[in-house]
Amino acid sequence: MSEMIERVAKVIWNIHSSSFNDGVGLDDDLMYLDMARAAIEAIRDPTIEMEIAAQEEWMCVRAAEDRGAVIWRAMIDAARSSQDGKAQP
């Protein structure tokens, strides 16, 4: 299992367990891993807002070793801040 799938699965499990408190643990239910895989697959192809954010970050002067992580975060931030395909102010 990849680290990212495990991270996403834990977040989904934490939200679910705090909402319903049903006692199901992440290790006991593969459903959370399936949800995590589906969530990661959904963000595999960037939206236009994510592509624009990546291009804008690429143009910034930053150290090369930080560029990948900074661009990734900018793309995810763009995805989180858009609704109905339009960037939020």
Domain extents in the chain: 3-42, 48-87
* Helices within 43-89 (DSSP H only): 48-59, 64-81
The pTM is what? 0.63
DSSP for 12-26, please give it: HHHHHHHHH-----G
The rounded percent of the chain whose pLDDT value lies above 70 is: 72
The rounded percent of the chain whose pLDDT value lies above 90 is: 3
Spatial distance between the Cα atoms of 67 and 23, rounded to a whole number of angstroms = 41
Q: What mean pLDDT is reported for the chain?
A: 77
pLDDT value of position 89: 41
pLDDT value of position 85: 46
